[in-house]
Amino acid sequence: MTNQKKQKRPVRQVKDDSFQPKKKRRKPATKKKSATNSAGVSKKRQTQQKKRRKQKKYKRMLTELILTVLISSVLLLLISFLTISLPRVEGYSMMPTLEDHDRVFVNKLGKLKRFKLVYYKDPKSQATTIRRIIGTPKESLYYKEDRLFINDQEVVERFIADQIAKTKQSNSVFTKDFSLSKDMGDDQIPAGKYVVLGDNRSYAADSRMFGYIDEKDIIGVVEARIFPIHRMTRF
């Protein structure tokens, strides 16, 4: 045997990690993220709450507005039903003061006076119409030669002055002679009763034909003509 030097095998160096310092691991920023997330959620909730509050406010305002309009409408209808009326004229008995199809404003609380136009209901036919008050309760009344006498005192009817003048030129009368005592059998107009005539005396159906009208049948006083607009007139 030959003496040869045995070759030494290279020794592998094994790394021992146990002796190496451990690297510090970074902890996840959970707190910051959770804080950010919670802040975002809270802002979102606040925004939603504000929107809800606004929606509730708008709904409440809308509800109050609708209730106000409804209550106002009901009150207006009730007041108008009790205090005013807007009837249409039918016929020609009140010409030239009122013409057929004129629309008038009636005040149901108006005071009844001589020469006022009144809107009343005929108790027999239930028809409504308009005439002018000529005689009031406890008065004596008669017409003679187109002149009106109340309690033996002449009262001028200016609203038909032009018609009277025209008929005089033709040797005629606009209002035929009429006497309360002779035609209606009373010296005075009874309490609660009225004598009414149409302004178109030759063609109007009025107290000369059907007698007195009762105060309870008078709906109101005609205050104005409101249509047609170009002929609007206050009486």
Digit-coded pLDDT (tens) for 55-85: 888 888 999 999 999 998 898 888 878 899 9
User: Rounded mean pLDDT of 92-112?
Assistant: 96
Confidence of residue 125 (pLDDT cuts 50, 70, 90): confident
Q: pLDDT at residue 4 above 50?
A: no
Give the integer Cα–Cα distance in Å for 35 and 41: 10
Higher pLDDT, 74 or 38: 74
pLDDT at res. 163: 94
Reference 186, options 163, 165, 155, 207; nearest CA is 207
Per the listing, tokens 């030239």 go with: 96
User: Rounded mean pLDDT of 80-108?
Assistant: 94
Q: pLDDT at residue 114 above 50?
A: yes
Give the integer Cα–Cα distance in Å for 98 and 112: 19
Q: pLDDT at residue 153 above 90?
A: yes
The 8 Å CB, 24+ separation contacts for 123-126 are 123/214, 123/217
Give the integer Cα–Cα distance in Å for 153 and 234: 28
Query: Cis peptide leading into 10, omega within 30 of 0?
Result: no
How does the average pLDDT of the chain come out, rounded?
Answer: 86
User: Rounded mean pLDDT of 11-20?
Assistant: 50
Give the integer Cα–Cα distance in Å for 83 and 95: 26
Q: pLDDT at residue 148 above 70?
A: yes
User: Rounded mean pLDDT of 89-96?
Assistant: 94
User: Rounded mean pLDDT of 114-126?
Assistant: 91
User: Rounded mean pLDDT of 171-186?
Assistant: 94
Q: Kindly state the percentage of the chain with pLDDT values over 90.
A: 66
Q: pLDDT at residue 150 above 50?
A: yes
User: Rounded mean pLDDT of 13-33?
Assistant: 52
Question: How does pLDDT run across 202-220, given as a tens digit for each residue?
Answer: 999 999 999 999 999 999 9
